[in-house]
């Protein structure tokens, strides 16, 4: 049960902060390339871009050359940026025609920021001790308030 709680807590922290804690492969699917020079990636930190694949206007699967773009991992959110003078290719314009595969995360568990580790511990402890919602005053709380305070410091972007 404890291993299940740890995994669930890690996934909750990743969802709430838009951060990948441990190294993992993520996939972003879009119907088209953006009308601007960069693609925003929905998780940070990003270590590398594995590939950008797309379906061209003829319906064939293509791989966009890695020599035509770069990763701006220091930007929040992380960006895939076209190199100077380059442009995104034309796509068919159908659902999931653009697929960006990338590696995100801090690395191993020892590389995860202490605040994120504390969030995981708070959730595990809370869920282990309280299998049902906790009543605070007249409000049911399923997550300790301390968790929300720490999460606020790690969050970025508009969506949890």
Distance from chain centroid for Cα 61 = 25
d(CA 124, CA 58): 50
For 119-149, write each residue's pLDDT tens digit.
Answer: 999 999 888 887 765 555 555 556 666 777 7
> What three-state secondary structure class fits 97?
coil
Handedness of CA 44, 47, 50, 51 (dihedral sign): positive
Q: What's the confidence (pLDDT) of residue 160? A: 42
Tens digit of pLDDT at every position of the chain (160 positions):
889 999 999 999 999 999 999 999 999 999 999 989 999 999 999 999 999 999 999 999 999 999 999 999 999 899 999 999 999 999 998 899 999 999 999 999 899 999 999 999 999 988 888 776 555 555 555 666 677 777 877 776 654 4
d(CA 137, CA 32): 49
Helix (H) or strand (E) holding 116: helix 114-129
Q: What's the confidence (pLDDT) of residue 100? A: 98
The 8 Å CB, 24+ separation contacts for 67-72 are: 71/46, 71/102, 72/38
For 33, phi then psi, to 5°, come to: -75, 155
67 secondary structure, DSSP code? G
Q: What's the confidence (pLDDT) of residue 137? A: 59
């Amino acid at each position: 049960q404890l291993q299940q709680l740890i995994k669930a807590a890690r996934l909750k922290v990743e969802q709430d902060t838009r951060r990948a804690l441990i190294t993992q492969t993520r996939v972003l699917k879009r119907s088209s390339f953006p009308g601007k020079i960069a693609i925003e990636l929905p998780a940070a930190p990003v270590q590398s871009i594995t590939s950008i694949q797309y379906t061209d206007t003829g319906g064939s699967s293509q791989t966009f050359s890695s020599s035509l773009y770069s990763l701006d991992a220091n930007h929040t959110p992380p960006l895939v940026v076209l190199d100077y003078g380059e442009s995104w290719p034309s796509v068919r314009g159908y659902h999931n025609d653009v697929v960006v595969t990338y590696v995100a995360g801090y690395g191993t568990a020892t590389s995860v920021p202490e605040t994120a580790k504390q969030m995981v511990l708070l959730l595990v402890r809370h869920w282990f001790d309280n299998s049902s919602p906790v009543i605070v005053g007249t409000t049911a709380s399923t997550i300790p308030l301390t968790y929300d305070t720490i999460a606020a410091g790690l969050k970025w972007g508009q969506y949890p």
